[in-house]
Amino acid sequence: MEWQKADEVIASYPPIDKEAVKNLWTAIRPAFHHKIIVLDDDPTGVQTVHNVSVYTDWSEDTIEQGFKDESQMFFILTNSRAFTAKETEQVHRDIAECIEKISKKYERPFILISRGDSTLRGHYPLETDVMRHAIEENSSVPIDGEVLIPFFKEGGRLTISNIHYVQQGNELVPAGETEFAKDRTFGYRSSHLGEWIEEKTGGQFSKENVTYISIQSLRQLDVEEITEQLMKVSDFGKVVVNAIEEEDLIVFSCALIKAIQKGKQFLYRTAAAFTKIIGDISTRPLLTREELITDEQTNGGLVIVGSHVQKTTEQLQALKSLTSLHFIELNVHLVLDKPAFMKEVARVKLEAEQKVAEGMTTVIYTKRERLDLGEGMEEEELKLSVEISDAVTSIVRDFSVRPNYLIGKGGITSSDIGTKGLNVKRALVAGQIAPGVPVWKTGEESTFPYIPYIIFPGNVGTATTLQEVVLCLEGESNFKK
């Protein structure tokens, strides 16, 4: 598929009337009172919101607390991208059944969003399919359709003419031609979202039967026509939403709310942008150091880098130019020799504790070469990756020095650090420190209460974004973009 120039493609569409979109939203959104529940398959899904609670378990008590929250929206971090298919199936069935039960108890309708990766990795269609059946079995209401919105502008993920792109500089690269499509667990071939749905569902849903919401109709503010498209969706039919700007999603959401008010029921598989829009979360400035570090320590910060995508490795290289930091490589290949690996983890932890206590921000990073056991050994590699993750999180859990701040780099890495290392049960999303880089304020139950925890996705930012975030936290600059 031919790569295209982003500026040329975007300029080929009429500009959207932002004032008219704002007026539409102001007229339609206040009447929408459904509880909005977002299941996040890694902790980066909060990268567009602020002043929203994130829960790290899905017990009935927790979900009930979420329903009682003053905020219309809450997140449940499942971290299911690190699960096997069997595990994610059980978790999503349990959650959906519990949500349906609590919804009936409080007589509060809800919408349920499966927040997935903007580069299309994850347990799709399994998660939404399981939730559909669980909800339908526990209520008398059929789910008419599933809305797919992988658009996420901060990460350069745009959907145009039904093709999902990853923007690299001024190039629009079809998602199926990126490194993300080659993921060993969640790989795919198709960039056209109708073809991707057909590929992922094994032909159960064909691209011809997908409902496509075009940029043309969104830019024409044709809410009634889009509403009519949604009213025709049935039997869990798929709806693909094209988008270049957030305003495109606002127009779609106006039509969606109208369809819901007319009785339509949908599930959602989306990236982070849709959660911000449907939740009516305002845009706020990037967080400053003064807002984040309110309990000043003489200790240094702690940065843990686990992601192996190319962008993370580039960002680590840029970070290494900061000579004021201390860097420690964790040789994860030693996981094949258990005693040697335990000794290596102990060495890294002790060295990091000493440096952080001396006031030096320390970066622990996993060996950049992937551990590849060869063809047909994916299951064994998965088991070893869990052991590696457990080792990394144990460093945080058992760390004897309170760092001034903590950065977790990579989706699964940051999730495990948050839940198993920091032992967070409920966190408040403070906002973002850089575009697409969210910050949690940990709860009082945490290993380090009220510490700023920066959740840095593996695939977000430029080569220097990690460096700029660290400079901001070190007090040397505020991140500007």
- CA pseudo-torsion sign 292, 309, 396, 61: positive
Q: In the predicted model, is pLDDT for residue 481 greater than 80?
A: no
| For residues 325-349, average pLDDT | 95
Predicted confidence band of residue 184 (pLDDT cuts 50, 70, 90): confident
**Choice among 246-250, 376-380, 442-446 with the minimum mean pLDDT:** 376-380
Rounded Cα distance between 130 and 99, Å, is 14
What pLDDT is attached to residue 479? 44
Share of the chain above pLDDT 90, in %: 81
Task: For the domain made up of 289-473, give the CATH fold.
Answer: Molybdenum Cofactor Biosythetic Enzyme; Chain A (3.40.980)
159-177, pLDDT tens digit by residue?
Answer: 999 999 999 999 999 999 9
Q: Using the predicted structure, report yes or no on whether residue 480 has a pLDDT greater than 60.
A: no
Q: Which of 87-96, 311-320, 371-380 has the lowest mean pLDDT?
A: 371-380
**What angle do the packed helices 60-68 and 85-106 form, to 10 degrees?**
50
| 370 pLDDT higher than 80 | no
pLDDT tens readout for residues 191-235: 999 999 999 999 999 999 999 999 999 999 999 999 999 999 999
User: pLDDT band for position 438 (50/70/90)?
Assistant: very high
Kindly give the residue spans of alpha helices, DSSP state H, lying in 364-464. 378-397, 411-416
- For 4-278, the fitting CATH number among 3.10.450.50, 3.40.50.10840, 3.40.190.10, 3.30.420.40 is 3.40.50.10840
479 or 190: which carries more pLDDT confidence? 190
**Residue type (1 letter), 326:** H
Q: Provide the pLDDT confidence category of residue 368 given band limits of 50, 70 and 90.
A: confident
Please give the Cα distance from 433 to 469 (Å, whole number). 7
3-state secondary structure (DSSP) of residue 399? coil
Q: Please tell me the least confidently modeled range out of 181-185, 227-231, 314-318, 393-397.
A: 181-185
Instruction: Write down the pLDDT at residue 60.
Output: 97
Contact 463, 314 (CB under 8 A): yes
Torsion angle, alpha carbons of 443, 63, 117, 13, to 10:
-110
| CA gap 151, 358 in Å, rounded | 43
Q: What is the pTM for the complete model shown?
A: 0.88
125-159 burial, b if ≥16 CB within 10 A, otherwise e? bbbbbbbbebbbebeeeebbbbbbbbbbbbbbbbb
pLDDT for the residue 478: 46
Residue 386 CB partners (closer than 8 Å, separation 6+): 82
What is the average pLDDT score of the chain? 93
Question: Residue range 446-470: average pLDDT?
Answer: 92
Taking the C-alpha atoms of residue 397 and residue 420, their distance in angstroms, rounded to an integer, is: 7
SS3 of residue 439 by DSSP? strand
410 versus 113: the higher-pLDDT residue is 113
Question: In sequence order, which residues have a C-beta less than 8 Å from that of residue 396 and are 6 or more positions away?
Answer: 302, 304, 406, 417, 421, 422, 447
- In this predicted structure, the answer to whether residue 32 has a pLDDT above a threshold of 70 is yes
Q: In this model, does residue 37 exceed pLDDT 90? A: yes
- Please say whether the dihedral angle defined by the alpha carbons of residues 414, 416, 419 and 421, taken in this order, is positive or negative: negative
Location of each CATH 3.40.980.20 domain in the chain: 289-473
Tokens of 276: 């911000």
Q: Indicate if the pLDDT at residue 118 is higher than 80.
A: yes
What are the backbone dihedrals phi and psi of residue 123, each rounded to the nearest 5 degrees, phi first? -80, 75
Instruction: Read off the pLDDT of residues 268-327 as tens digits, 9 standing for 90 and up.
Output: 999 999 999 999 999 999 999 999 997 778 999 999 998 777 888 999 999 999 999 999
Nearest to 305 by CA among 413, 385, 465, 419: 413
pLDDT at residue 378, rounded to an integer: 67
- Residue 458 phi/psi, 5° resolution? -65, -30
pLDDT of residue 261: 97
